[in-house]
Amino acid sequence: MDRKRNISMAVIKRLPKYHRYLAELLRNDVDRISSKELSEKIGFTASQIRQDLNCFGDFGQQGYGYNVRELYAQISQILGLSNDYKTAIIGAGNIGQAIANYNRFEKLGFNLEAIFDANPKLLGIRIRDIEIQDIDKLEEYLRSNSIDIGIICVPRVNAQKVCNILVNNGVRGIWNFAPVDLVAPEDVVIENVHLSESLLTLTYLLHEKDEEIEE
C-alpha cells in the first residue's frame, strides 16, 4: 500500500469511526457511497473525508464514490484488524468483568486468553469459560504464553506495577482503564480509557451551558 508516514493523531482517531460507519453501510447492503453522502452520515465534511482517506492511499473514484466493501476492508487492514490479537485482562473487578463479557471484541479479532486478579474470592471463577487466575502467576504465564494486548483494570495504585510486568514480558499493547498515566518504553503503545475524565468533560460542558442560560 502506498502509505504516507506521519499521519496525525487526529486522523488516526477518526479512522475507527469510518470503520464503524462502513460496517453499518455493509449491514444495510450499501455498495457504494460518495464522500458527500458519507459526510452527511458521519458528520465530517466531504473534503475532510477525502483528505483523511488520501493519507492512506488512493481510495475512491471521481464520480463513482467509494466502494463500501473495499474501503471497509482497507480501513480494517490499516487499523491492524487483519491480524488476530491475544489479550489478557488484569483486574477482574467491575470494569474487568464487563470487558471480559463483551463479545463484540471477539468479532473484531480480539481473543481473550487469560484473566488475572488479586482477590482470592474471584480465583477459579470462570468468565466465558476462562478461569480467573492469581495475579501472582501473571509473570509466569507471560513467560510461556504470548499476549499482544494487556487490559489493565486494576486499582490506580497497582496499575504501574502491572504495566511493568506486562512490558517486561513482551506485551507491546496496553489498554489502560486505571485512572493513572502509565510510563512505558517507546516501543509500547498505551491507549487509555479514563472514565472519570470523560464524565468530568460532560459536567464541564453542562455547567457551561447552565451559565449561558443564566446570563
- Which spans of this chain sit near a copy of itself (rule: CB under 8 A)? 12-13, 15-17, 19-20, 42-43, 78-81, 83, 85, 94-95, 97-99, 101-102, 104-105, 108, 110, 148-149, 172-173, 175, 179, 181, 187, 189, 191, 193-210
| Smallest distance, a copy of itself to C-beta of residue 109, A | 8
First CA to last CA across the chain, in angstroms? 54
Q: Is 96 annotated as a binding residue?
A: yes
Strand 66-67, strand 85-90: pairing: unpaired
Nearer to a copy of itself, 63 or 213 (CB): 213
Cell of 116: 488475572
Nearer to a copy of itself, 45 or 200 (CB): 200
Sheet-wide strand order for 110-117: 126-127, 130-134, 110-117, 85-90, 149-152, 173-176, 189-192
- Is 67 buried (19+), middle (13-18) or exposed (0-12) by CB count in 10 A? middle
Nearer to a copy of itself, 79 or 165 (CB): 79
| Smallest distance, a copy of itself to C-beta of residue 63, A | 28
Q: Which residues are annotated as a binding site for NAD(+)?
A: 91-96
